[in-house]
Structure 1
Amino acid sequence: MQKETKTEVYQAADDFLMSPKVDFCFKELFQSPKVRQGFLAAILGKNPGEIVETQLMQTILSKESADSKYGILDVRVLMTNGSQIDLEMQVAPLEYWDKRMIFYLSKMYTEQIQEGDDYDKIKKCVRVHVSILDFNHFKDDNKCYREIAFCDLENGEKYTDLLEIHVMELKKLPEEQTDEPLLIKWMRFLAANRKEDFEKMAEQDQYIGEAYETLKKLSADETKRLEYEVRQKALRDKNAIEDYGYHRGEKAGEELGRSRVNRLNAKLLEEDRLDDLKESLLDTDYQQKLFEEFGL
């Protein structure tokens, strides 16, 4: 019997679809001009016909000096009016997320002019952040999408539209409803895990339909699939290493905590302070005071 090639094996597994939540797939999807057109129209609240043309730009932002830091973007798009939009799929928790967002947006903004240029050359810069983290950036509400801009804190009036941040938190998506905004439909497409879910969203909008067709072609491409699997493995390995480090730290912390409590109990028994011992076992605030008293 003839041996199957890798290509034949991949094509036989016709139910396989890459996940847009993996940043490799996310970047590849937006290589399609029509996918960019539909998604950006949803973000900007425009009719897709108003998005005449989009161009992919260099994703590495320049350094101002030898000692300064590079900025590396996922997908950077130039609009016909000169404005720029950066699209990022965030696949891992990041410390100082807010500072990082401002850093990238600021570099996009300031990179537009050189020494001697007038400020009127500066165009709008937008950063679109799609989050699939295991925690939410904004913990005090259930809003899955928000637009952030400079505004007057007293009356909420927008100061300028030259800098904007759009944040999508896929883990906050509510139960599906009828007549949802197109942007929410795009979020459901990006968050989908099953072929049926992708197909359902694709039927509701021609541009999401184009994204689904692009996704199927990517998933059937042997080279792209190998690249995807390498990236997916790297992310799994990174998460496993971080989890291992966290659990080791957690275990060490528990052991240190038990040792500290045992030393406190020994001190209280030694000084015959049985009432303090009893209270410390019931009240962690009182226990903390005793730690401080004994310098533990």
Structure 2
Amino acid sequence: MKKTKELKEKENFIMFPTVDFCFKELMQNENVRKGIIAALLNVSPDEIESTILIQTILRKEYEDDKYGILDVRVKLKNGTQIDFEMQVAAYEYWDKRSIFYLSKMYTDPIKEGEGYDTLKKCIHVSILNSVHFPEDDVCYRRIAFCDTETGKEYSDLMEMHMLELAKLPPEAQNEEGIILWMRFLGGRCEEDFRHMAEKDKYIEEAYDTLKKLSADEEKRLEYEARQKVIRDHNSFMKSAEKRGLQQGIEKGIQKGIQQGIQQGIQYTLKALELKKQNLSAEQIAEELQISLNDVKMILGEK
């Protein structure tokens, strides 16, 4: 009976795109990239001629510069670059971090001696499974440079798209474009994914890819390892929060403890991700701006 139950669970298993490992694997499919990019740019997928995955580590111009490590970086035929960041947990300084990524991506391609006319459009896309703008119920917004008095756009060379999956309203009739993709990415069961696949052929391909990934034993092990890291740290941080809250009540520093816990989660997850990209402990410490000893403790190195 136990084996039958395990077999049934295995057959019903489906990955969630909000786990960054799964999202990155989905974006390996060119048609998936084409579909979601077309939705973001509000154009027909036929207008997206090329979507090339490129290096996610942004170069440093000077020795003391900070690295920029992106989740998924795509280059279009016209030179436009798009950075996709899947962020599950709330990140206190996400506004600053996203601006850093966008700015570094914008200047990364230009070489010494080249003119500013060579700079191409860059787009940062934050896919957030939490609320980033608590002051309203808007789940998708495009942010660009504009005149604060007239609202007239100054330049479209740098822009940001914020997708807050946690703020998606109840499904309405005749939804299209990026909202459909947000519902797919935020799906919590196979029925959710199947339902959205019926509405768009590119989402259908994403669903087919998701099923293949979920059926791949090796990919599943990687996915579950990533989930385990997140679960373990959530459990650890909840325990730390419980202890910290007691201390915070006594010392009046509850807010500082909570901020420290969130920062600890982010440092740990990012350090493990950078390790997978073959960065040394020294490079990881520099990127995260934490001590080398802390990095080695996270990675389990002596």
* Bucket of the pairwise TM-score, normalised by the shorter protein: 0.7 to 0.9
Aligned letter for 1:46?
V
Q: 1:51 to 1:38 in 2, by over 3 A?
A: same
- Structure (1 or 2) with the larger CA radius of gyration: 1
2:51 aligned with 1:51, yes or no?
no
Report the CA distance between 1:10 and its aligned residue.
6.8
Partner residue in 1 for 2:77 = 80
C-alpha distance in 1 between matches for 2:178 and 2:28: 19
Q: What does the per-residue CA deviation read over 1:77-112, in whole Å, with 9 as the maximum and x for residues that have no partner?
A: 000000100111002222321111111101100012
- Which of 142, 162, 165 in structure 1 is aligned with 2:157? 162
Secondary structure at the residue paired with 1:52? coil
Partner residue in 2 for 1:96 = 93
Partner residue in 2 for 1:285 = none
Root-mean-square deviation (CA, aligned residues, Å) is: 1.5
2:210 aligned with 1:210, yes or no?
no
Q: 1:241 to 1:68 in 2, by over 3 A?
A: farther
2:168 aligned with 1:147, yes or no?
no
**Is contact 1:59-1:76 (8 Å) kept?**
yes
Q: What does the per-residue CA deviation read over 1:211-234, in whole Å, with 9 as the maximum and x for residues that have no partner?
A: 000000000001100000111111
2:104 aligned with 1:107, yes or no?
yes
Partner residue in 2 for 1:117 = 114
C-alpha distance in 1 between matches for 2:217 and 2:185: 22
Superposition misfits of 4+ residues, deviation over 6 angstroms: 9-12
Report the CA distance between 1:11 and its aligned residue.
8.8
Partner residue in 1 for 2:293 = none
Q: What does the per-residue CA deviation read over 1:153-205, in whole Å, with 9 as the maximum and x for residues that have no partner?
A: 00111110000100000010001000113211110001111111110000000
TM-score after normalising by structure 2: 0.79
2:252 aligned with 1:236, yes or no?
no
Report the CA distance between 1:63 and its aligned residue.
1.2
C-alpha distance in 1 between matches for 2:241 and 2:139: 28
C-alpha distance in 2 between matches for 1:124 and 1:247: 46
Number of aligned positions between the proteins: 248
Aligned letter for 1:99?
K
Q: Give ranges in structure 2 of 5+ residues lacking alignment.
A: 253-302
2:129 aligned with 1:132, yes or no?
yes
2:173 aligned with 1:178, yes or no?
yes
Q: What does the per-residue CA deviation read over 1:123-143, in whole Å, with 9 as the maximum and x for residues that have no partner?
A: 10000100002xx11011000
TM-score after normalising by structure 1: 0.81
Secondary structure at the residue paired with 1:168? strand
Q: Give ranges in structure 1 of 5+ residues lacking alignment.
A: 258-296
C-alpha distance in 2 between matches for 1:86 and 1:68: 20
